[in-house]
Structure 1
């Protein structure tokens, strides 16, 4: 069970069927299945009335602490730490399967798809081990097709759907034919998007992140993006996640997915109607997000500003314009480029007085002048020059608002 005193195998009994992590507070439902308390509570709070492992309808949503299992997990954990000779040593897993064992499990899933939870859990652990493991799984003949068939069947139990999405997320980048994979997942006679949407709505944090990544991976061309955008409820769920979640990885994966799917211009009015400008404003107004999240939020807002509906929403939202101005020169050159492009769209192209006024009130002219004199790209400098012309900045007004030691450098 132990190798080199540092690497251990986690008994499957100790893993939560939902999160697949070692349970911290195991509790049992009336069906007899044990879950980690936080995972099953989230499942029930989402309005579900079934046991996620068996899909039996629950006659009671009460659960009972499994003290016996908790003691066993504690004893096992103490034993692992004792053998590592350091209470603070991280627990690392040995490869859960050999390649031959992984092949055998896949054959078992093929023969008994309705009873695949344990097999799929072991496959997930194997895929997590290394890039070599993920490449191996992606290249097993028929395995990716098996996963797609499972997603598209429409009658798999929810926990199995979560596991399939996680496996797909880990191996999809290693698949040799992305176009063929995307086409197979988006076929009209399959219900893959409905399964992914269900996981987005009710899954664990890890599963929802995986779902967004899978969607991004199959949005490979205009046709696939349009098919994804046409799925009822999918965009609204992604935007809802932006408004309710605080996990940076989840927010970033959601933004990346929306950016990928919204590349065709005809899709952009839809995300605007669903409230993306309001949610992006909230993200940009929070100074605690990472550079990457901020860049992606501005990129998506720039895409929204390219349609008349998006321009109108931004112009009507002074908080949005203020947040854009605040991010200029403060985050990264990429963020600044997105911000300038948005302001150019609403102030120069739309000639909107409200947006122009908000830019002025938030010291935007000074920032534009600084940008003009920085080492920005020619395209950004041109946009900034257009903005200054719109604001009719004279040399005198430039000097009055530009309090630095380089006031001798003028934009005209």
Structure 2
């Protein structure tokens, strides 16, 4: 059985002189160069104990899917070890070079994936170096893990599965307790790796969620370079998502909230902005008592205005997170008072209904419901403004197209509130704009 590659005119202009007009000729790939699973040219050929050679990526997917037999021979695999087949790989590379004039690129020599034994060994050495407070040796080992992770997603999985996260979290806490300034380079390297080694396990969470570790993360948020600040906020977001106790502990650390808001006010990259918003959302959901205090801090830092600015132009993911934080803020009287004083909030909320995503629509309806239900100002206040901006029509459409039970309930209540003023006003249509409004920032 043969497999052919058909050369097409596009992308092979440099070969016109050599090929002449025969640009539709076919190049035949030798059968033994193809993976038996995908039938594609192998890039990293490995051989199982059954003697059959496969492309490493394909056979790993086969094994990870729960299969315990060789795909070709159907023999039960006594071991899942994969031995690199250097002979076949060199033959494939030579064939690619011979056919480079036809647009075939030479496959690169693959790096041998890291093994669980190598990960376990290096983790043991990090533990020893940490106990001795040997920063130089520890950093050397940490950088090695970092480089392994850069090589492939498979390496990252192997590192995570073999407990590196817990070891690194313990090392982070230990060196942070000695001196953050003195060990800043090592701590920064560990933070970079911690962004992709979650979950850490119970012990790892305990180490990274300790007071000294959180103080160190806050220190990086405030004093680190752009890369370190990004790593710090990504790690913090992952940690807060694991357990409410980490949220409560982080809320007590001075500067964390201020620095998260600062990352929103002065963004360094979209991922850092999303992580900051998510972290603030977790902090709002900690408890009724702590969230009231948290909202007070948010209001004092001008977060409501920042969220509205994000909502005007933000992309989908950022809008969803900003809406979630804004909804939490509007749970408190103080948060609603700030919202009432901002001329942009109702137009923005109405504009986002049925425009960005189902989640944004749910948050928009929920915030409007909270604002309208609790507005005791004369002449309707928010209710009248929402009605003039076409909210009544949008809610009717929303109920027709369908939504969640809670959103349906709140939309129905909103319609009842709006209906009290509907006959007295000349309502706007769905295309109502808010270009005439001046932003308060």
TM-score by length of 2: 0.63
After TM superposition, give the deviation of residue 399 of structure 1 in Å. 10
Q: Does 1:160 align with 2:181?
A: no
1:245–1:251 CA contact under 8 A, matched in 2: yes
After TM superposition, give the deviation of residue 164 of structure 1 in Å. 1.1
> 1:291 is matched with which residue?
316
Gaps of 5+ in 2: 1-40, 45-96, 432-441
Q: Does 1:94 align with 2:94?
A: no
Q: After the TM superposition, list the runs of 4 or more consecutive aligned residues in structure 1 that deviate by more than 6 angstroms.
A: 4-7, 85-93, 397-400
> 2:207 is matched with which residue?
184
After TM superposition, give the deviation of residue 108 of structure 1 in Å. 4.3
- Which of 267, 270, 282 does residue 309 from structure 2 map onto? 282
After TM superposition, give the deviation of residue 348 of structure 1 in Å. 1.2
Greater mean deviation of Cα atoms: 100-109 or 323-332: 100-109
2:339–2:345 CA contact under 8 A, matched in 1: yes
After TM superposition, give the deviation of residue 139 of structure 1 in Å. 5.7
After TM superposition, give the deviation of residue 90 of structure 1 in Å. 11
Q: Does 1:193 align with 2:208?
A: no
Greater mean deviation of Cα atoms: 134-143 or 244-253: 134-143
1:344–1:384 CA contact under 8 A, matched in 2: yes
Gaps of 5+ in 1: 8-81, 405-412
Instruction: Name the SS for the 2:179 alignment partner.
Output: coil
Distance, in Å, in 2 between the alignment partners of 1:343 and 1:304 is 13
After TM superposition, give the deviation of residue 344 of structure 1 in Å. 0.7
Distance, in Å, in 1 between the alignment partners of 2:381 and 2:421 is 21
After TM superposition, give the deviation of residue 334 of structure 1 in Å. 1.1
1:56-81, CA deviations, whole angstroms, 9 ceiling, x for partnerless residues?
xxxxxxxxxxxxxxxxxxxxxxxxxx
Where do residues 262-411 of structure 1 align in structure 2 (5 Å cutoff)?
Answer: 262-264=284-286, 265=288, 266-267=290-291, 268-269=294-295, 270-286=297-313, 289-352=314-377, 353-393=380-420
After TM superposition, give the deviation of residue 271 of structure 1 in Å. 2.4
Instruction: Name the SS for the 1:281 alignment partner.
Output: helix
Give the 3 Å change call, closer, same or farther, for CA 213–400 of structure 1 in structure 2: closer
Give the 3 Å change call, closer, same or farther, for CA 88–329 of structure 1 in structure 2: farther
After TM superposition, give the deviation of residue 302 of structure 1 in Å. 0.5
TM-score by length of 1: 0.67
1:327–1:335 CA contact under 8 A, matched in 2: yes
1:209–1:254 CA contact under 8 A, matched in 2: no
Greater mean deviation of Cα atoms: 335-344 or 352-361: 352-361
> 1:20 is matched with which residue?
none
1:181–1:218 CA contact under 8 A, matched in 2: no
1:208-252, CA deviations, whole angstroms, 9 ceiling, x for partnerless residues?
333223223333444332221111111010011011115221211
1:244-269, CA deviations, whole angstroms, 9 ceiling, x for partnerless residues?
11522121111112112221232242
1:9-29, CA deviations, whole angstroms, 9 ceiling, x for partnerless residues?
xxxxxxxxxxxxxxxxxxxxx
1:193–1:231 CA contact under 8 A, matched in 2: yes
Give the 3 Å change call, closer, same or farther, for CA 228–401 of structure 1 in structure 2: same
Larger radius of gyration: 2
- Which of 157, 160, 168 does residue 135 from structure 1 map onto? 160
After TM superposition, give the deviation of residue 298 of structure 1 in Å. 0.5
Q: How many pairs align? A: 320
After TM superposition, give the deviation of residue 339 of structure 1 in Å. 0.5
After TM superposition, give the deviation of residue 202 of structure 1 in Å. 3.9
1:151–1:192 CA contact under 8 A, matched in 2: yes
After TM superposition, give the deviation of residue 372 of structure 1 in Å. 3.1
C-alpha RMSD of the superposition = 3.6
Give the 3 Å change call, closer, same or farther, for CA 113–397 of structure 1 in structure 2: farther
1:216–1:261 CA contact under 8 A, matched in 2: no
